Amino acid sequence: MSAHKEQITILWFKRDLRIEDQPALCHAAQLGYPILPLYVVEPALWMQSDYSGRQWEFTKECLFDLRAQLGALGMPLVVRTGAVRKVLSELTDTFDIKHLVAHEETGTAWTFQRDLRVQAWCRENTIDFTELPQSGVVRRLYTRDHWARARDRFVDGVRLKPPQALKSIDIDAGHIPDWADISGEPDRCPLRQHGGRGAALSSLDKFWGNGIKTYRWAMSSPVTAPHACSRISPHLAQGVMSIREVAQLSALRSKSFSTPAKKGYASFQSRLAWRDHFIQKLEDQPDLDQVAMHRAYNNLRPREGNEAFLSAWEKGETGLPFLDACMRSLQATGWLNFRMRAMVMSVASYHLWLDWRSAGTRLGRLFTDYEPGIHWSQVQMQSGITGMNSIRIYNPMKQAVEHDPNGAFVRRWCPELRDVPDVFLHEPWKWDDGKNPLGKTYPTRVVDFEASARAARDRIWAVRKDRTNRAETAKVIEKHASRKTPTRKRRATPKKPVDQAQLGFDF
């Protein structure tokens, strides 16, 4: 039978939606068979509660763009909807699939299990399945000891050029669905970033031309960060550019930078390294969205948490203006700067004492740039459950004064508070005036944020101080902590290991 079928290699695109520096594409080209570039829209994946319409609409734009780029090489992207094994089985009716090539995806349990099923299917059907790394993340890492050096080697390696042409295969390219075709649940995100290579390059160009000069001081405030940060995160999350390409293009560009921009550039490079560092944690422990790194903290907070608090937090209706403004801005834009992400997670986990899994899931789906490896490692860090990082409980009122001193951000996203005098804006419950909108147009605070932070600190410290947990802490450090600072010149050298550099007390 198979003698009559065309022999092909399937290049399975997942979160590597590019042709530049694309190891899977280059490997597939070397195998000698015509390449069928395939993306499978998996409704079961997109229905997971950490996935969302904003992420799909961004991905969809990347897919249209990738289809055009591959089309220019001779073979446009083929899109099918369904479970991957079913789609592959259907393709075997027409083709003799010799190889399946993909990147090594680091995701949560769902994608991990799916990849295992695809692997088994390939074995059953005697199809060779190759997965290749696309970043400094190492599969089946034995020890973290020399990881940073290996990561640097990868990022400094030669960028791969796409093949000059692809042989065309006679097949219907298929429909790229809208979010409404996948899910009935609308997800309004009017100020979302857009996908595609042009958008990715333009984000970087803007950053190099302007943002990078102020990056170091402007990245912390939600007022200045949207224009000072690179905004490359959703593009990296969908693999529109490789981390190697971003790091190397930035290095080239940095030669013409002024001194402030050079400092910004060094911080930027270290963040790119953090990216791989955090994703490596999920690669090494694929259940990080379900199980605390340090088991003693696993059930510290009730699993069946307070739905009213969770919903108020997610919608930006907690009665804490700065927090609410952050969540509302995230709802509308799909993005928030690092410090504010850390603060909103800290408030959920400490002040509201919510289960980190529930809050982390709701937060993840609000991010257009949802990247499971970074996300769940950060969610755990900001919830104080890794056992190895110092515990940081953000004080949201203090953050508000430091990062929104004239209240412009709060007034933009919480217009109900427009007339509250500056001096009371971040703590409107202190404004004793009949015009106070609390309990009328703006919610009263769901908890006393100072008292609840104190209570949370006592609870978390009780576990931290317990000497019986020390052996487990040592295991977590051995498995997940960064060993030493990278030595490469073109990158900033953090003064402390990555895990500790970001944390401290704010309380």
Ligand X SMILES: Cc1cc2nc3c(=O)[nH]c(=O)nc-3n(C[C@H](O)[C@H](O)[C@H](O)COP(=O)(O)OP(=O)(O)OC[C@H]3O[C@@H](n4cnc5c(N)ncnc54)[C@H](O)[C@@H]3O)c2cc1C
Q: Which residues make up the interface to ligand X (CB under 6 A)?
A: 219, 229-233, 236-237, 268, 271-272, 274-275, 278, 337-338, 341-342, 345, 364, 367, 369-371, 374-375, 378-379, 382
Taking the complex as a whole, the smallest distance from the CB of residue 23 to ligand X amounts, in Å, to: 19
Strand partners, 79: 39
In this complex, which beta carbon is closest to ligand X, that of residue 149 or of residue 271? 271
In this complex, which beta carbon is closest to ligand X, that of residue 77 or of residue 232? 232
Taking the complex as a whole, the smallest distance from the CB of residue 15 to ligand X amounts, in Å, to: 12
For tokens 């529109």, name the residue.
240
Query: For 47-103, where are the alpha helices, taking DSSP H only?
Result: 53-73, 84-92
Taking the complex as a whole, the smallest distance from the CB of residue 43 to ligand X amounts, in Å, to: 22
In this complex, which beta carbon is closest to ligand X, that of residue 80 or of residue 235? 235
| Residue positions counted in the chain | 507
* Nearest of 36, 393, 412, 475 to residue 191 by alpha carbon: 412
Taking the complex as a whole, the smallest distance from the CB of residue 440 to ligand X amounts, in Å, to: 32
**Dist. CA 73–CA 71, nearest whole Å:** 5
In this complex, which beta carbon is closest to ligand X, that of residue 196 or of residue 443? 196
In this complex, which beta carbon is closest to ligand X, that of residue 34 or of residue 497? 497
Q: Dump the DSSP string for 3-62.
A: GGSEEEEEEEESS---STT-HHHHHHHHT-SPEEEEEEE-HHHHTSTT--HHHHHHHHHH
In this complex, which beta carbon is closest to ligand X, that of residue 87 or of residue 272? 272
* CA-to-CA dists, residue 212 to 237, 266, 268, 269, 492, angstroms: 21, 10, 8, 11, 14
In this complex, which beta carbon is closest to ligand X, that of residue 341 or of residue 362? 341
Taking the complex as a whole, the smallest distance from the CB of residue 372 to ligand X amounts, in Å, to: 7
Helix (H, G, I), strand (E, B) or coil at 267: helix
Number of DSSP helices (H) and strands (E) in the chain, helices first: 24, 5
Taking the complex as a whole, the smallest distance from the CB of residue 342 to ligand X amounts, in Å, to: 4
Taking the complex as a whole, the smallest distance from the CB of residue 237 to ligand X amounts, in Å, to: 6
**Dist. CA 473–CA 391, nearest whole Å:** 14
